[in-house]
Amino acid sequence: MSFLTKVIIKKRITALLTVFTLVCVTAIPLFATNVFASTYQKMLVIASSQYAYDFSNLKVVNGSCASNITDIVLEELTATDTTGTGQINLIKALYGINPYLKIWVSLPSINANNYTSITYATLTTYLNTLKTGITNSLGATVWSNYIAGVYINEENVYGTPTNYSNLTGTSSDILRMSQLSSYVKSTLGKKFLWIPYYGVTSAAQTAEVNVKNIAYIANTTNYFDYVILQPHYYNITNATGITASPTNLNGVAYSVQNSGNGTGGAITYRDGSVVVAKTSSARIGFEMENSVNVSNSGTYSSYTSTLTPIRNACPVAYYYDVTSNSGPNMLAAAASFFNY
């Protein structure tokens, strides 16, 4: 056998081994990768208390999620659960159905009633407990690869800064956000997500102040990797003491479509004017809001007509009021909207 023939045979064997290796790695991954990943996340927001619901439609069919969902954002509805049991139970159920999903674990609820008393230490202890529970139940690899990040369940800035040039120095609420951001990103090595409601009026602030507070955090700091805006318009008739305008939908759309100096969105007022120049890298997206009471109403039509044209241009979250219906209807509604 000539030297040239040996070289040719060796190269062919090497090429065959390379192909065989790639096929094996693709067919039998060491840990599931998101085979149905899209350019931007398609997030479903669900309450941690929903672990008993039927989420079988989240299973993988023919290489993609049957409900077109890539991420699940858990929402811890209470501030008293110190162990994260509801979230851990739900993560077990979801992982058993679909190991390709990305899960965002939730901090306890931070709201107008407790924002001055709930501490950074309490919240980081909670996250540590949650991490330990997930690791002990499902393994360290699940925590590392299945858990995408942390969702701060705080829908407003409850401590308006008195000096927008010194956010953390004039608002203890924003200071805690900053501290939690460092902990989540540096200590836990995870992404940080915020889903504030946009353009709402309450006893504490006007709609303009609400938008301004969000903008100074989203546009000028890197506390959050993703800021997903909830228009809150569907909730306008609820007796919550909070009101919202249908023009919120326009403001959210303007914010998402703004280039943000090339960073993907910038918070604007409802007329489209940027509140403050975007210097952060936070990615701006929007949340669809739904419940059995609005799915067939003009309210939901307002959402779809304004937001459907831009749904493939940013991360999108879908919220379905869990007090109004059960898992299957929620999944069907989300799957329909995410069918792109």
72-76, 132-136, 238-242, range with the lowest pLDDT: 238-242
Q: Which of 273-282, 293-302, 319-328 has the highest average model confidence (pLDDT)?
A: 273-282
Q: Rounded to whole angstroms, how far apart are CA atoms 94 and 103? A: 9
**Domain range summary for the chain, segments of one domain joined by +:** 1-30, 38-337
CA distances from 90 to 75, 130, 248, 272 (A): 11, 12, 32, 39
- What is the mean pLDDT of the segment spanning 81-108? 90
222: left (phi over 0), alpha (psi -120 to 50) or beta: alpha
pLDDT, residue 55, reads 77
pLDDT, residue 240, reads 54
- What is the mean pLDDT of the segment spanning 235-248? 65
- What is the mean pLDDT of the segment spanning 179-196? 98
Name the pLDDT band for 6 (thresholds 50, 70, 90). Answer: very low
pLDDT, residue 325, reads 46
- What is the mean pLDDT of the segment spanning 168-193? 97
**CATH number of the domain located at residue range(s) 38-337 in this protein:** 3.20.20.60
Q: Rounded to whole angstroms, how far apart are CA atoms 329 and 240? A: 25
- Return the H-helix or E-strand segment holding 339: none
- What is the mean pLDDT of the segment spanning 1-25? 35
